[in-house]
Amino acid sequence: MDRPITTGQLKDKSLFQDSDGTTVPAKNICHSCSKLKIFLGALAFSFFAKGFSGSYMKSMSSQIERRFEISSSIVGIIDGSFEIGNLMVMVLVSYLGPRVHRPKVIAVGCLIMSLGAFLSVMPQFLMGRYNYERITVTVDNISTSVSACSPAASEAHPFTDATETPRAMKTLGLVRSSGMFGPTLGFLLGSFCASVWVDIGLVDIDAISINPKDTRWVGAWWLGLLICGAVNFIASLPFWFLPYSLPKEGENENLKISHLPVQDDCKVDPPAQPQLMFSEAVKDFFPALKKLFGNPVFLVYIFLTILQYNSLVGLITYETKFMEQQFNVSVARAIFLIGVILLPITILGMFLGGFLIKKFKLHITEMTKFACITFIVAYFLNLLYFTCSCEVLQVAGLTAPYSGLKHLSKNSFMASCNADCSCKLDQWDPVCGDNGITYMTACFAGCKSSTGTGKNMVFRNCSCVEGQGHGLGNSSAVLGQCQRESCTKAFPYFLALQTTCAFILALGGTPTYMIMFRSVSPDLKSFAVGIETLGGRVLGGLPAPIYFGALIDETCLKWGTKNCGGSGSCRVYDTKAFRNVYLGLIAGLRAGCCLLYIVLSVLIMKRFKPDGKEMTDIQNTKRSAIKELATANKNEILPGARTSEESEETCM
């Protein structure tokens, strides 16, 4: 029998015998070892792809709402349905993860995400061009058009396709860190797509009479989905070529020794892939579940996670709509600010929180206190949001009375100044009068003539504007809602406050997450992560967008109208009621989180005393688990590899 070759002699060898008896170059073995780095790189990119796609969909919720003329609650259902796919496999994958071919499972998940993104684009092309509601004026000559306030104008001419071009122009046609940076780029892509007209390339942009600040504006939401689909498809490719298991750090030398030349009569068989026994998996599932939920710390942590998911998902889903309605900011700009300010600050807070844990080697009781204090401080700062108030948009007959009327009557859309105009109550094409009041259409402003075309159109001789201190014939109105200057000035203070709150919350985010790992036994950590994510998404990610959207819908003052009839998306909100509902829900949910943080702190301080029996038991359990894990890891290497001890034992 040949004497075993030592690790030092290995350097002089250029050829080794593989598990099937064939000779392979040493560089191939090193190449196999590098697959671990390939796996980590591919996993990091898949995290990036998921965060990139998810954040982009969140940023496009208002665009989808307007494109298909649906309410916020329906958008919430669409948003929450993203979690349904996770529910089907989340617990199963987290529990059976060590028993299946994980790289291929990840590859299948990325492919499904890619397919879903591509399928989501189809409605854009199946439903034709987007037609936003507007009034029609009849051209009298090159620059002047007939009155918007005219029975003929409102009866003889139906709605026109706003996206049709003028007749003369119709010829135109770090693994987890990567997951954190993904949302930032997703929001930046969302900002770009929200600023591009939905039917870009098919219409004359100059003929569009609205701008991105208009509530009827729809960006190219479908364009980003194509990019998201392509990114997820690319993310799936590396995983198809990775083996079932990979060598761990420090096993490279053992891996090389396992491929040393052996005698001809020594047959080396490749390790068999573990067979998944469904009956055994089911048998162990329920005892493991019972053990987890029998842990009071973990149980309180799950309830805390559910409330945090509800507040966070509701906040993110409707944050751009809140900024738009409250502070007169375009959706594209709101998405951009979230991507370049709020998300990076959140990432910084999470990294700093993790650094503090490592730097000061915080005990679980200290981590709990730190997380509790940071959350409570952020909660009280969160209450200051209510001070960032903004006045309601002054719309004649809706939130403000017409001239000559001291009080606003309910549904008083008509007045003596426009009684003879035959205006349609279901139209919304707002104009801003010289008096600073917005009118639902130029017809409701009583405008008798107009000059210019497209975005430059100006309405003249508006009878309902004249009564506000303007001389006869000198009143006018321009397309679009009136700007609320005080709201725009308050926005920087709101953004600074929100940035501060996000940083403090993120600072305690990492310690909070570590509580779960420190409070469960090592053999249940993977399962605990699955249960925590499942609970948060089922009871947080799924219902939060729905009930947030339903309550926000209750604050709508003026609904749009679909081309086929019926209510469309909301055009004007009661901004005060919107603010109270949106911020009130978040504050209420986070108040519950504060109470649960206090309960969690008490439980952990009682259970994890430095010299207590619980800590001794946990340390003993951890040592046993580490020994078992080390034993199991000896066999978890690349297919075809065997340790030197195994080869030597087989040849005896």
Q: What is the pLDDT of residues 202-240, one digit of tens each?
A: 888 878 888 888 888 999 999 999 999 999 999 999 988
Return the ∠ at Cα 218 (arms to 212 and 221), rounded to 5°.
120
**Report for 65-69, 371-375, 425-429: range of highest mean pLDDT:** 371-375
* Rounded CA separation 648/652 (Å): 6
Confidence of residue 177 (pLDDT cuts 50, 70, 90): low
Confidence of residue 150 (pLDDT cuts 50, 70, 90): low
- Pick from 559-568, 619-628, 629-638: least confident: 629-638
Q: Which has more confidence, 10 or 88?
A: 88
- 263, pLDDT greater than 50: no
**The pairing of beta strand 447-451 with beta strand 458-462:** antiparallel
* Rounded CA separation 619/625 (Å): 10
Confidence of residue 105 (pLDDT cuts 50, 70, 90): confident
- 615, pLDDT greater than 70: no
Confidence of residue 160 (pLDDT cuts 50, 70, 90): very low
- 141, pLDDT greater than 50: no
For the segment 264-291, the average pLDDT, to the nearest whole number, is 61
Confidence of residue 282 (pLDDT cuts 50, 70, 90): low
Q: Coil, helix or strand for 259? A: coil
> Contact at 8 Å (CB) between 208 and 77?
no
For the segment 502-507, the average pLDDT, to the nearest whole number, is 94
Place of tokens 């580490």: 626
Cα 583 to Cα 156, 315, 359, 426, distances in angstroms: 46, 9, 36, 30
pLDDT at 560: 84
In order, the DSSP letters of 556-616 are EEEEEE-TTSSEEEEEEE-HHHHHHHHHHHHHHHHHHHHHHHHHHHHHHHHH--TTSHHHH
* Rounded CA separation 73/624 (Å): 51
Percent of the chain with pLDDT strictly greater than 90? 30
- 631, pLDDT greater than 50: no
Helix, strand, coil shares of the chain, percent, nearest 5, are 60, 5, 35
pLDDT (tens digit per residue) in 298-318: 999 999 999 999 999 999 999
- 247, pLDDT greater than 50: yes
Q: Cβ of 183: how many Cβ atoms within 10 Å?
A: 26
In order, the DSSP letters of 196-219 are SBTTTTTS-GGG----TTSTT--B
- 526, pLDDT greater than 90: no
* Rounded CA separation 95/531 (Å): 9
Cα 53 to Cα 50, 182, 190, 342, 546, distances in angstroms: 5, 8, 10, 18, 20
pLDDT (tens digit per residue) in 314-345: 999 999 999 998 988 889 999 999 999 999 99
pLDDT at 173: 30
Q: What are phi and psi of 25, to 5 degrees?
A: -65, 155
Q: What is the mean pLDDT of the chain?
A: 77
pLDDT at 91: 63
Query: Which letter, b or e, does each residue of 135-156 get, where b requires 16 or more Cβ atoms within 10 Å of its Cβ?
Result: bebeeeeeeebbbbbbeebbee
Q: Which has more confidence, 101 or 480?
A: 480
Q: What are phi and psi of 396, to 5 degrees?
A: -60, 130
* Rounded CA separation 352/96 (Å): 33
- Pick from 37-46, 294-303, 341-350, 467-476: least confident: 467-476
